[in-house]
């Protein structure tokens, strides 16, 4: 695949992403065998990962969506988490997996995790395509993680910069001059 002109390099190619998505789906299928699971997609970054993931989970899967914001239009978290769209159903007594695009500082996901935990699910797990442990500022680990990535600004496969690059089928590193403008 041709390198997008705004990318410095491709970090994870499309074939590697699809292979790992199938592996994670198999892990979830095994771990929840005989049970149903509610998958909650964090909008908008996790949509591509979420859509591919649920196709390969061989269980009774229910889906819901939540949108949180702590970034605005910049490249770093504002620190204040806002729920822009909440899930549409009660989760008490359900097995729940939150599907995220990336675990970065962890602030937003920790807030979301605690909020959902207070609603009484039978279990609550985190599934993330990417994990950037060098940036972690709170204690938080994903239960299902696709790839660990270095502390670089990544875009593609749902991840964006100013709402661009989400549609790229791979994950790449954005050139610094693109987001330094």
Residue pair 101/158 in contact (Cβ under 8 Å)? The answer is yes
b/e code 123-135 from CB counts within 10 Å (16+ = b):
ebbbbbbbbbeeb
Helices 47-55 and 14-31, axial angle in degrees (round to 10): 60
Annotated active-site residue in 104, 131, 143, 160: 104
Q: Confirm whether 104 is a catalytic residue.
A: yes
Full strand arrangement of the beta sheet holding 171-174: 7-12, 171-174, 154-155
Distance CA 19, CA 35 (A): 24
- Tally the C-alpha atoms within 13 A of residue 8's C-alpha that lie toward its C-beta: 12
Q: Which residues are catalytic?
A: 104
């Amino acid at each position: 695949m041709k390198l997008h002109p705004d990318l410095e390099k491709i970090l994870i190619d499309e074939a590697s992403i699809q292979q790992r998505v199938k592996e994670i789906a198999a892990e979830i299928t095994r771990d929840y065998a005989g049970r149903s699971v509610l998958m909650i997609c964090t909008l908008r970054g996790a949509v591509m990962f979420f859509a591919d993931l649920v196709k390969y989970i061989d269980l009774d899967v229910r889906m819901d969506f939540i949108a949180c914001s702590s970034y605005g239009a910049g490249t770093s978290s504002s620190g204040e988490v806002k729920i822009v769209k909440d899930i549409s159903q009660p989760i008490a007594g359900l097995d729940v997996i939150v599907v995220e695009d990336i675990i970065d500082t962890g602030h937003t996901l920790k807030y979301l995790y605690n909020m959902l935990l207070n609603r009484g699910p039978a279990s609550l797990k985190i599934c993330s395509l990417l994990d950037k442990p060098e940036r972690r500022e709170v204690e938080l680990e994903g239960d299902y993680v696709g790839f660990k990535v270095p502390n670089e600004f990544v875009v593609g496969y749902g991840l964006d910069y100013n709402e661009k690059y989400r549609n790229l089928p791979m994950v790449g590193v954005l050139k610094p001059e693109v987001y330094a403008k």
